[in-house]
Amino acid sequence: MRNFAKHTSHYLPLLGILLLGVLAFALFSYDRAFQIAVSIAVALAYVAWGVMHHHLHRDLHLSVFIEYLIVASLGLVIVFSLIFRS
């Protein structure tokens, strides 16, 4: 919570992107291609946010980048599985 208050200007854009992603999924439930595109865009934006945030805080390391990449990949795999099975 302390971290969030200190870095509000960094977290708000991230929250905005993620909320837009959920909204897009809900509004375009019939358009599979659009849902796939939104998933990939949000995952890439999430990794990009992580890289920029840690670079600005001077604690960007390879392990941190890989962590964001793996979390994004796990999220994408879960969402893709459901989209293709729906």
What does the binding site for other proteins look like in residue numbers (CB under 8 A)? 1-4, 11, 14-15, 18-19, 21-22, 25-26, 29-32, 39, 42, 46, 49-50, 53-54, 59, 61, 63-64, 66-68, 70-75, 77-79, 81-83, 85-86
Whole-number minimum distance, CB 23 to other proteins, in Å? 10
C-alpha distances out from residue 38 to 45, 52, 54, 62, Å:
10, 21, 24, 26
Q: Is 69:48 a contact under the CB 8 Å cutoff?
A: no
- How many other CB atoms are there within 10 angstroms of residue 9's CB atom? 7
Whole-number minimum distance, CB 39 to other proteins, in Å? 8
Whole-number minimum distance, CB 9 to other proteins, in Å? 14
Instruction: Name residues whose C-beta falls within 8 Å of residue 17's C-beta, 6 or more positions apart in sequence.
Output: 42, 45, 46, 49
